[in-house]
Amino acid sequence: MTKVIDHINNSSKTLFSFEILPPVKGQGIQDLFSEIEPLMEFNPSFIDVTYHREEYVYKKKADGLLERKSVKKRPGTVGICAAIMNRFKIDAVPHIVCGGFTKEDTENALIDLNFLGIDNVLALRGDAIKTEPTFVPERDGNHYASDLIKQVVQMNNGLYLDDDIENPHPTNFCIGVAGYPEKHFEAPNMTTDLKHLKMKVDMGAEYIVTQMFFDNKKYFEFLERCRANGINVPIIPGLKPITTKKQVTNLSRVFHIDIPEGLSEAIEKCKNNAEAKEVGIKWAIEQSKELMQKGAPVLHYYSMSRSSSIRAIAEALF
């Protein structure tokens, strides 16, 4: 299959891609396929599939005491990537994270991906477990996304953790990473965050996908600062059409991003979610048009596995 960087390098126009979430545990894959299907006519170049680490839930036992259980609510990232590639003949990009993985777990996951013919990964640190205040890596796990990139690059060079392996097979992963036009929330300032982003690129990341943003000015400023700091790989804008009234506050809180006044005021005036969705689509189309005009390599949409807004946007643009 084709690497994301080759899709970009082989195209003279802005490409279309989107991100989906694995279904909640216990659900089949059919609903997800039904959401992806209507987007196929717009020729997406690749589909990202998120990874969701374990979280702790508390279950009441018969004796009334609470039992803490670790659960993965959305397992199946690798299987879904393989299923998408098989069904739609399109590249799937699994997200891989440091959190919850020892280096050996990561190595084994990368071996599975390699066997499946998946040559793309988006390498991330991942967030802290929901009930914990800060991110804690596994013992003998990777701490930062840059450490994870180092491990993938080593495997691309045929270096496995066990150096006794005879004739090790080199993998061939194209590595993407996350970037934050409004700064990662833990970074003390943009300068420090960009230093860490540059580290990821210097370690071998071939492109960057941004956190969602609703004001293109933030993306253009970020692009400029990246270039001034010697970060020269393609920077793919990530866009999320607002679909409900509540998202104005929720997205801002969860993703540490600003919602421009014009957008929050327009959503506030909406009588219901159907109206909010229309405002969200219009806003995303305007953002997309400008980004396209100014030569964004790909427009990458956070679909949250719901395709109707993304379809309306794609109809207007691709």
**CA torsion angle 300 301 302 306 (round to 10):** -140
74 near ligand FAD (CB under 6 A): no
Which positions from 80 through 119 interact with ligand FAD, judged by CB under 6 A?
A: 95, 97
Q: How many CB atoms lie within 10 A of CB 212?
A: 18
According to DSSP, the β-strands at 66-71 and 55-60 are antiparallel
x/- contact string, 187-226, with ligand FAD (CB under 6 A)?
Answer: x----xx--x---x--------x-x---------------
Would you give the DSSP letter of residue 141?
A: B
Nearer residue to ligand FAD within complex by CB, 119 or 182:
182
Apex CA 142: angle with CA 45 and CA 110, to 5°?
Answer: 45
Cα distance between residue 199 and residue 202, in whole Å: 5
Nearer residue to ligand FAD within complex by CB, 18 or 51:
51
Nearest approach in angstroms of CB 4 to ligand FAD is 12
Interface residue with ligand FAD, options 238, 241, 280, 297 (CB under 6 A): 238
Cα distance between residue 152 and residue 177, in whole Å: 12
Interface residue with ligand FAD, options 17, 106, 120, 146 (CB under 6 A): 146
Which positions from 125 through 144 interact with ligand FAD, judged by CB under 6 A?
A: 125-127, 144
- Closest C-alpha to 224, from 214, 215, 235, 213: 235
Instruction: Determine the 3-state secondary structure of 226 from DSSP.
Output: helix
240 near ligand FAD (CB under 6 A): no
Which stretches of the chain bind ligand FAD, using CB under 6 A?
50-51, 53, 95, 97, 124-127, 144-146, 178, 184, 186-187, 192-193, 196, 200, 209, 211, 238
